[in-house]
Structure 1
Amino acid sequence: MNDLDLNTLLGPEDDEGSGRRGGRGAARRGRRRRRRRNRGGFIAPLLAFIVLAGIIGGGGYYGYLWLSDALVPDDYTGQGSGEVVIEIKSGQSASEVATELEKQGVVASARAFTNAIANAGMSDKLQPGEYKMAKKMSAAAAVQRLGADNRLLAKVTIKEGLRLSDTLSTLAKETGKPVKEFTAAAKNTKDLDLPSYAKGRLEGYAFPATYEFQPKTTPKQMLTAMVDRFNQTAEQMDIEGGAKALGRTPHEIVVIASIVQAEAGRQEDMAKIARVIYNRLELNPPMKLQMDSTVMYALKKYRTTATFAETKIKHPYNTYANLGLPPGAITNPGDHAIEAALNPAKGTWRYFVATDPKSSVTKFATTEAEFNELLAEFKRNGG
């Protein structure tokens, strides 16, 4: 090696000694340091190779178990057995649900479930609610069982024209909750989001429809859902604007709709019945409504006609004795009855009679003489 090569290796000259920094001794020490560094750099990958080799080969059984658990998590097979109810709370992630399923013994491992739900593309599609599961299910079967269609729900159909008392009884029967809880919730109307014009009365505002309630839904929440449905319908139909156009309050529209619902045997007669009510209210002097349905409501009976004696009772809902509308609704009207109250048919009718009780056919009359003819027809048909 010539001097130039040596200088390049050893670096610049030193001010003392051999005339070069560190001289040959320094060069040897530098070479030793480089060798030590090289040995250290070689040891790390060597150790990694040894550990990996131990896991795959030399480690044998334990290495296999470690890799197996990491790559293929524990899982059951089949649909499982027994029964366990799992609740998915609002906002829960798939991994949180997986942890709960493993804890409850539904799946063998949370990892198996998260893998299965990711493969099914349902990681962000879990719906809050309660689900009936089994013990020791395969992860794939658990994912399938957690579809929205499998939620535990009480499906309740509230028919148009039911009185509030019957609505509460139906809710209790279909949900398995005590009727006294519904009665208590119905009395505390300030918590039910009733519109201001309801004047604190729930009758008429528990909208008839089919509802699906989760097992933990309280009676108060159920009734609130029904009032919310009424509010949606009222907004869609513009009850407030329609009432103003008719010179009525929104509450009066609901009361009229409730009478129409109780009196009509067929949907196509509703608008005409509403017209009869308006014609009687708008006569000068006004004519009493004389609706048997309001008398039956006052008496808590369910017949379609009232006797002469029954029409003489003293009660604010007796429209044979009192002028004008009763103070509140007598049923929970559906959207067709509300529509009829907002858009009564055009006509001069003041009377109507269900002349054939079997077919629910209703006929209309303007004069009292015509009305008497309809009554005679009603009697001939067994009324």
Structure 2
Amino acid sequence: MKRILWVLGAAFVLLAASGAGAFFWFEQQAHAAAAPPGADVVEFTVPKGATGRGLGTLLASQGLIRDARVWRWHLFRRGGFAPKAGRHEISPSMTLAELATELEDNPIPEDVPFVVVEGWRLRDTDAALAAAGHIKAGAYIAAASKPQDFTAPFPLPSTGTLEGYLYPETYGVIPGKFDVKALIQRQIDAFAQRFYAPNRDGITKSGRTLHEVVVMASMLEREEPLPDQRPLVAGILWKRVDKGFPLGVDATSRYELAQWNDRGAFLKRLRDPQDPYNTRHKKGLPPGPIGAPTVASLQAAMAPKPSEYWYYLHDAQRILRPSRNAEEHEALRRKYNVY
């Protein structure tokens, strides 16, 4: 009988010791992060109706915690957990206590897409932002007229506006918390990332300044609908600039119009030899960019395609028709009825 009691007592001690060891192991693991301090912050989505147990599996599968069992232990010891559905910014450097607190906090507000269309002028983007209720009319233009308020790894215009340097693409914005300067900085950053950084050496080798490339690219964006044809058009236009011939790019005469497609106002400007944007009369590049160019146009302006052509037009199907001289150009005008 004494032997049985001794065995039972020993077993009890072992179980207690084992339980205490497990307790201390779980407690230790609950205070350990999955990664060292300084790990990247990531976006983690709490699904609607998610349970603490289910989140443990998700967190572990994404490497944000070490062990889902330890997560469940922590929530048990915590005494309650009410995560909020939505996106949260968390890091594997966080402890389980920090993660739980963050997932119970308000999620990141849902953003909505805002599209800056290729070729748009500052006034076009301003009008679209105002129509969407993000700004008061004129706020975008006013902010973009102060280049000194922004930073870039390339020289921004010292005077005038940021026309041409604000990259056109879809940006996520938060209704009710829209920051016009933040959007402009994001556009500059996109320009730097998409074009400037990978093409810095190419710009230097082109023999043109970045600003000259941007001005030419803004015209190409409007002049040639097919990106593959833009290097050829760029070659023609640069040749005309270098030889001192007027460019004859009618899109430039539309730049200062309140409405781009106002034909009456456009024709009036075409007849005005004093208009600085009238490239039928003025030689060289126009005073500045006429809109927001894409990478395809910027690369074409930087690396034009040499050819024997001096003129071009587009037929009714918008197919490019280049020509070697004025006589061929006029013959193409008559053939395709383009005037």
Fold equivalence (TM over 0.5): yes
Change beyond 3 A, Cα 1:375–1:186: same
Q: TM-score, normalised by structure 1?
A: 0.59
* Deviation readout 1:138-165 (Å, 9 max, x if unpaired): 967x554447898510211212111111
Partner of 2:283: 323
Partner of 1:289: 247
Residues 35-114 of structure 1 correspond to what in structure 2 (within 5 A)? none
Deviation at residue 231 of structure 1 after TM alignment: 1.3
Deviation at residue 301 of structure 1 after TM alignment: 4.7
Partner of 2:298: 338
Residues 42-191 of structure 1 correspond to what in structure 2 (within 5 A)? 117-118=55-56, 120-121=58-59, 142-146=83-87, 151-174=109-132, 176-191=134-149
Deviation at residue 328 of structure 1 after TM alignment: 0.8
Task: Say whether 1:367 aligns with 2:305.
Answer: no
Among 170, 194, 199, which residue is 2:158 paired with?
199
Partner of 1:250: 210
Whole-Å Cα distance in 1 between the matches of residues 156 and 108 of structure 2?
A: 39
Among 312, 315, 337, which residue is 1:352 paired with?
312
Change beyond 3 A, Cα 1:345–1:175: farther
Whole-Å Cα distance in 2 between the matches of residues 310 and 190 of structure 1?
A: 34
Q: Which runs of 5+ in 1 are unaligned?
A: 1-89, 99-105, 126-137
Partner of 1:226: 187
Partner of 1:210: 170
Matching residue's letter, 2:290: I
8 Å contact kept, 2:118–2:221 = yes
8 Å contact kept, 1:168–1:182 = yes
Change beyond 3 A, Cα 1:308–1:191: closer
Partner of 1:377: 335
Partner of 1:80: none
Q: Name the Cα RMSD after superposition.
A: 3.6
Whole-Å Cα distance in 2 between the matches of residues 256 and 330 of structure 1?
A: 9
8 Å contact kept, 1:237–1:339 = no
Change beyond 3 A, Cα 1:199–1:366: farther
Give the percent of matched residue pairs that are identical in Structure 1 and Structure 2: 24
SS at match of 2:166: coil
Task: Say whether 1:238 aligns with 2:199.
Answer: yes
Change beyond 3 A, Cα 1:354–1:161: same
SS at match of 1:121: helix
Partner of 1:268: 228
Deviation at residue 175 of structure 1 after TM alignment: 5.7
Change beyond 3 A, Cα 1:150–1:321: same
* Deviation readout 1:262-294 (Å, 9 max, x if unpaired): 1112222211110111110122xx111121011
8 Å contact kept, 2:250–2:270 = no
Change beyond 3 A, Cα 1:114–1:187: farther
Whole-Å Cα distance in 1 between the matches of residues 121 and 113 of structure 2?
A: 19
Deviation at residue 370 of structure 1 after TM alignment: 0.6
SS at match of 2:238: helix
SS at match of 2:298: helix
8 Å contact kept, 2:148–2:158 = no
Whole-Å Cα distance in 2 between the matches of residues 171 and 261 of structure 1?
A: 22
Deviation at residue 185 of structure 1 after TM alignment: 1.7
Whole-Å Cα distance in 2 between the matches of residues 242 and 166 of structure 1?
A: 30
Deviation at residue 199 of structure 1 after TM alignment: 3.3
Among 207, 215, 219, which residue is 1:259 paired with?
219
Change beyond 3 A, Cα 1:253–1:165: same
8 Å contact kept, 1:292–1:304 = no
- Count, aligned residues: 261
Matching residue's letter, 2:216: I
Deviation at residue 172 of structure 1 after TM alignment: 3.3
Structure of higher RCO (CA pairs closer than 8 Å, 6+ residues apart): 2
Deviation at residue 178 of structure 1 after TM alignment: 2.3
Deviation at residue 340 of structure 1 after TM alignment: 0.8
Change beyond 3 A, Cα 1:156–1:164: same
Matching residue's letter, 1:230: F
Among 290, 295, 302, which residue is 2:260 paired with?
302
Whole-Å Cα distance in 2 between the matches of residues 262 and 224 of structure 1?
A: 24
8 Å contact kept, 1:205–1:230 = yes
